[in-house]
């Protein structure tokens, strides 16, 4: 296919990675974002090999190597007793087994890395401070003084406006879970945490994930509990009574964990929303990716990775088609991605069940995990981490 103009709505990780993927295939790309400036949002994220492989292909290998921390292992620990249950090796093992590194980093660092690459790419144009509402999206090109785009990509997150252009796309629903996010200095968490690994403390209908950030000087923490539907929002500062609710949810946890929660700085409270299976495209040149299409709970830590895969594979599918086969190529792309996303959702649901197990189920979980070798547990992730998008 010859070069086309692509409009991407949203300049988060999904939108910026997608822009680079389209530009690498010779297309002109306009990225529009309603924020006046891209600022720090969220905290840490896990970059699994299926995502880092694509980022490296997009030319970000050196930047990743300088910024991303590659933990030695992922360890599952009882949040009640602090007894180690099992672990999956990472570090050099991950790079050798899955062909790309597994790492953790600050979300803003990844966004900045992508932004710098976009700004250095002559085929990409970033437009900040643009009104992103359904009535304005289809006429964005007029405001920007650009040709009518061949494709509009909605990468504008769980509360996507672009989704309204897609008949049959479904609205977000509250998952029943909330995430409490905060960071602490390494020397403030005592011996309970190994700053060289990812640790998941499994509780009773709760869990806490902790891993290093900022050159290993801080620990990023995400505590997930049940919660009430707050309506259309995505991140709130905790109020004075929220900490009490968190401590109650983790009430049967080890005292050392509870001490961390009591001493933590102000947290950010994130309700977790999902987007059920609905349409992703309108057959008229608009397609949704990432959270706009299929937001999922973070129990498999694959939200950003799936969005990066989406963008890379969309750019390839569109670029490989000719004028007469675009619709067929888009249909094949969506079919392939639905299978992949469906499997990731099932893994997240399984992890939620396993992480939050209680009573006899929890005891059985711990016994089964203890009987399996680290390499055997790693093999369960081959389909996820070892995945190679077409063309890689």
Using one digit for the tens of pLDDT, what is the confidence trace for 262-286?
999 989 888 899 999 999 999 888 9
Supply φ then ψ for residue 269, to 5 degrees. Answer: -105, 115
287-297 residue pLDDT tens: 999 999 999 99
Q: Token pair 């009535």 is at which residue?
A: 135
Residue 46 within any structural domain of the chain: yes
Residue 109 within any structural domain of the chain: yes
Give the pLDDT band (50/70/90) at residue 316: very high
H-type helices in 40-85, by residue range?
49-55, 61-67
Q: Which domain holds residue 163?
A: 5-70+104-171+275-353
Residue 302 within any structural domain of the chain: yes
Q: Which long-range contacts (CB under 8 A, 24 or more apart) does 345-348 make?
A: 345/294, 345/296, 347/299, 347/300, 347/302, 347/384, 348/296, 348/297, 348/298, 348/299, 348/300, 348/302
To the nearest 10°, report the CA torsion of 300, 14, 183, 102. 50
pLDDT value for 373: 96
Residue 89 within any structural domain of the chain: no
- pLDDT > 70? residue 177: yes
Least confident of 35-39, 99-103, 181-185, 305-309: 35-39
Residue 63 within any structural domain of the chain: yes
Residue 150 within any structural domain of the chain: yes
Burial class (CB in 10 A: 0-12, 13-18, 19+), 265: exposed
Check which CATH number belongs to the domain holding 53 and give it: 3.50.50.60
Q: Token pair 């509360």 is at which residue?
A: 159
54-83 residue pLDDT tens: 999 999 999 999 999 999 999 999 999 999
Number of domains composing the chain: 1
Q: What is the mean pLDDT of the chain?
A: 92
pTM of this structure: 0.94
Residue 359 within any structural domain of the chain: no
317-344 residue pLDDT tens: 999 888 778 888 888 999 999 999 999 9
Q: In what order do the strands lie in the sheet with 5-9?
A: 124-127, 28-32, 5-9, 151-154, 286-288
Q: If we measure between CA atoms, which residue out of 224, 245, 181, 194 comes closest to residue 45?
A: 181
105-155 residue pLDDT tens: 999 999 999 999 999 999 999 999 887 777 778 777 778 788 888 999 999
d(CA 316, CA 25): 8
pLDDT value for 138: 75
- pLDDT > 90? residue 300: yes
CA 176 and chain centroid, separation? 19
Give the pLDDT band (50/70/90) at residue 232: low
Q: In sequence order, what are the residues at sequence separation of 6 or more whose Cβ sits closer than 8 angstroms to the Cβ of residue 88?
A: 73, 74, 374, 377, 378, 381
Residue 386 within any structural domain of the chain: no
| C-beta neighbour count of 339 within 10 angstroms | 10
pLDDT value for 215: 87
d(CA 260, CA 165): 45
- pLDDT > 60? residue 234: no
pLDDT value for 235: 59
């Amino acid at each position: 296919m010859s070069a086309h103009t692509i409009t991407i709505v949203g300049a988060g990780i999904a939108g910026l990675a997608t822009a680079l993927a389209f530009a690498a295939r010779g297309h002109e790309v306009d990225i529009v974002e309603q924020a006046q400036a891209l600022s720090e949002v969220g905290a840490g994220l896990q970059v699994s090999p299926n995502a880092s492989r694509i980022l490296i292909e997009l030319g970000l290998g050196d930047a990743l190597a300088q910024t991303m921390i590659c933990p030695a292992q992922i360890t599952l620990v009882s949040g009640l007793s602090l007894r180690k249950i099992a672990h999956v090796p990472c570090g050099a093992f991950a790079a050798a087994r899955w062909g790309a590194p597994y790492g953790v980093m600050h979300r803003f660092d990844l966004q900045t890395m992508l932004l710098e690459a976009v700004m250095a790419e002559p085929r990409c144009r970033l437009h900040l401070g643009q009104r992103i509402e359904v009535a304005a999206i289809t006429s964005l090109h007029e405001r920007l003084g650009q040709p009518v785009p061949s494709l509009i990509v909605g990468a504008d997150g769980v509360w996507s406006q672009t989704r309204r252009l897609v008949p049959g796309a479904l609205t977000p629903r509250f998952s029943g879970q909330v995430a409490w996010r905060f960071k602490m200095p390494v020397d403030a968490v005592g011996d309970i945490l190994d700053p060289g690994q990812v640790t998941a403390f499994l509780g009773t209908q709760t869990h806490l994930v902790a891993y290093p950030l900022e050159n290993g000087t801080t620990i990023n923490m995400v505590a997930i509990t049940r919660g009430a539907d707050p309506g259309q929002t995505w991140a709130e500062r905790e109020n004075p009574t929220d900490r009490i609710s968190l401590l109650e949810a983790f009430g049967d946890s080890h005292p050392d964990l509870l001490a961390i929660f009591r001493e933590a700085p102000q947290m950010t409270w994130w309700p977790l929303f999902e987007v059920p299976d609905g349409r992703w495209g309108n057959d008229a040149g608009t397609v949704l990716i990432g959270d706009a299409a299929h937001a999922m709970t973070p129990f498999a830590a694959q939200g950003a990775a799936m969005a990066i895969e989406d963008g890379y594979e969309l750019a390839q599918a569109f670029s490989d088609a000719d004028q007469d086969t675009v619709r067929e190529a888009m249909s094949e792309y969506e079919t392939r991605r639905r299978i992949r996303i469906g499997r990731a959702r099932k893994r997240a649901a399984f992890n939620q069940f396993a992480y939050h197990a209680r009573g006899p189920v929890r005891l059985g979980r711990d016994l089964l995990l203890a009987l399996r070798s680290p390499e055997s547990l790693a093999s369960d992730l081959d389909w996820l981490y070892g995945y190679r998008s077409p063309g890689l």
